[in-house]
């Protein structure tokens, strides 16, 4: 059975979801993109990740098209720009995201990356939105262990940390994944199959995919999904790619498979800075 991930408040979602980066950039593509997200919902990929930054809100408008009449099937994640994560500006950003998505509440609202606004002020603004019923829970993105430590007493309320994590970006394995795992905080992996196709052209990955009878993206996703507490949110606008992504849930990588991947993509042996896209 496909794995689920539990948030600190007990809410469970499937470990494989959908991303929307680069969606909404061309009006002519929006219906096809929305249809892809709807197909993803039918395949059980309930978590849909977006952001006010993506296509200047255009991706959130695609999400609205996708979840119309199906809101209860989707777990919606959006992200606020760091410059809008202040006491005075976050509420306005949140309202704009709600309007673009056509929903009354965001299931998980993330700080997109750390900026000049103090984290304590951002946490306070998140708390106000929770109290107002505009968001159901809050979290962060692109924050490392030291940053999370600065949340102090607010850390248990942080529902997730979304970071770049894939075969070619394994830095989070060194200390971030253990840190979050010890605290029951899920890690969301964005771009888990890489960007631009370079990862999927890797000879070792393609060879392993051939042995499993799947595409290389499915193996890359299975590698990420093997970790407890990790949610992967790959973006796919093509129905065939979506189905390939969904198939990754059924792949079990053997010890030999993992050794082959370690040889091709060595795990971190020391602390490295988080990679970002």
Secondary structure class of 222 (helix, strand, coil): helix
What value does the mean pLDDT take over residues 179-202? 94
Where do the DSSP E strands lie in the chain? 4-6, 12-14, 18-19, 47-49, 75-80, 108-111, 138-141, 158-164, 187-190, 230-233
- pLDDT at site 1: 44
Q: Over 70: is that where the pLDDT of 266 sits?
A: yes
Q: Over 90: is that where the pLDDT of 195 sits?
A: no
pLDDT digits (tens, 9 = 90+) for 35-92: 999 999 999 999 999 999 999 999 999 999 999 999 999 999 999 999 999 999 999 9
- Torsion sign (Cα): 58, 275, 193, 109: negative
pLDDT digits (tens, 9 = 90+) for 94-134: 999 999 999 999 999 999 999 999 999 999 999 999 999 99
What value does the mean pLDDT take over residues 194-209? 92
Q: Over 70: is that where the pLDDT of 2 sits?
A: no
3-state secondary structure string, 136-201?
A: CCEEEECCCHHHHHCCHHHHHHEEEEEEECECCECHHHCCHHHHHHHCCCCEEEECCCCCCCCHHH
Q: Given pLDDT bands bounded at 50, 70 and 90, which one contains residue 197?
A: confident
Tell me if 245 sits within 8 A of 206, measured CB to CB: no
- Of 222, 106, 111, 211, residue with least CA distance to 162: 111
DSSP 115: -
Token pair listed for 156: 């248990």
Secondary structure class of 39 (helix, strand, coil): helix
The CATH homologous superfamily to which domain 13-264 belongs is NADP-dependent oxidoreductase domain (3.20.20.100)
Element (H, E) at 256: helix 255-264
What value does the mean pLDDT take over residues 239-264? 95
- pLDDT at site 114: 97
Whole-structure pTM value: 0.96
Angle between helices 90-101 and 119-131 (to 10 degrees): 50
Q: Over 60: is that where the pLDDT of 164 sits?
A: yes
Say what percent of the chain tops pLDDT 90: 96
């Amino acid at each position: 059975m496909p794995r689920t991930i539990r948030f600190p408040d007990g809410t469970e979602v499937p470990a494989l979801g959908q991303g929307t980066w680069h969606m909404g950039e061309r009006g002519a593509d929006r219906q096809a993109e929305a249809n892809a997200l709807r197909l993803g919902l039918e395949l059980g990929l309930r978590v849909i990740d977006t952001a006010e930054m993506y296509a200047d809100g255009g991706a959130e408008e695609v999400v609205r098209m996708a979840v119309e009449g199906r809101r209860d099937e989707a777990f919606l994640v959006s992200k606020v720009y760091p410059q809008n994560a202040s006491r005075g500006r976050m509420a306005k950003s949140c309202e704009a995201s709600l309007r673009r998505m056509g929903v009354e509440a965001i299931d998980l609202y993330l700080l997109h990356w750390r900026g000049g606004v103090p984290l304590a002020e951002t946490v306070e603004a998140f708390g106000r939105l929770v109290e107002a019923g505009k968001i159901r829970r809050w979290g962060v993105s692109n924050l490392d262990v030291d940053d999370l430590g600065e949340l102090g007493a607010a850390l248990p309320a942080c529902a997730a940390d979304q970071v770049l994590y894939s075969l070619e970006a394994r830095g989070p394995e060194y200390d971030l994944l253990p840190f979050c795992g010890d605290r029951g905080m899920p890690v969301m992996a964005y771009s888990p199959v890489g960007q631009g196709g370079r990862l999927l052209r890797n000879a070792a990955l393609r060879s392993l995919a051939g042995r499993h009878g799947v595409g290389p993206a499915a193996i890359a996703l299975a590698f990420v999904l093997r970790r407890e507490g990790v949610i992967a949110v790959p973006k796919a606008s093509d129905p065939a790619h979506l189905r390939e992504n969904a198939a990754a849930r059924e792949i079990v990588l053997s010890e030999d498979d993992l050794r082959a991947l370690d040889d091709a993509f060595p795990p971190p042996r020391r602390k490295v800075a988080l990679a970002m896209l």
